[in-house]
Amino acid sequence: MADFSILEKEVKDWQESTAWMTIRHPRTGEPIGDQERPARICLASPQSERWQRLEKSYHAQLRLARQNGQTVYTVDDVERFEQHRVQCYQAVTRDWQNIERNGEVLPCTPASMEWMYGMKWIADQLLEFMSDVRNWGAPEGTENLIAPDPMLDSEKKLSIGSSGTLQ
């Protein structure tokens, strides 16, 4: 028999686990900073309660908009989605190391996160890292456990100029 109380604790521990993401140069792919002390960010899993709470709230807003007749996504909607993603990254950031701005250590604060995560190349790395469940101990070949987001499809369509429900 399967004891779900044990499984529940194991899953909870996994959901709240953390992993370190090394920031890489957007052109070379090399770690930024010293080889022994690269710039890196400690992140909680996208399965964490904090991330999931923000996702539920965001998707509830989308559902309400659809119920109120909004069936077309605009550039503003894509920008709101990008802001939402930055909020998700802020919510799961636990710490960072070896990050400076103007020669000073950059404190790991919401304002610093907003500035840094507002850079597309860092947001892209965060999205890639967060999307790979292996970073939180899932085995090779495990399916991505992040629920698909309808805004991602809209964002892709917008970026390639595809027609459809976007304007």
Q: For residue range 135-144, what is the model confidence (pLDDT) as tens digits? A: 877 656 555 5
| Nearest to 114, CA basis, from 150, 82, 144, 146 | 82
Number of neighbouring beta carbons within 10 Å of residue 113: 20
**DSSP 8-state code for residue 34:** -
Task: State how far the Cα of 116 lies from the Cα of 86, in Å rounded to an integer.
Answer: 9
Percentage, residues of the chain above pLDDT 70: 81
Mean pLDDT score of the chain: 80
Q: What is the pLDDT of residues 67-123, one digit of tens each?
A: 887 767 777 777 888 888 888 899 899 999 999 999 999 999 999 999 999 999 999
What pLDDT does 50 receive? 83
User: Does pLDDT of 64 surpass 70?
Assistant: yes
Confidence of residue 147 (pLDDT cuts 50, 70, 90): very low
Task: State how far the Cα of 10 lies from the Cα of 131, in Å rounded to an integer.
Answer: 20
What pLDDT does 155 receive? 53
What pLDDT does 158 receive? 55
Question: For residue 18, how many C-alpha atoms fall within 13 Å in the half-sphere facing its CB?
Answer: 13
**Domain ranges within the chain, ordered by starting residue:** 46-93+108-132+143-160
Higher-confidence position of 140 and 55: 55
User: Does pLDDT of 166 surpass 90?
Assistant: no
Give Cβ neighbours of residue 145 (< 8 Å, ≥ 6 apart): 46, 47, 133, 138
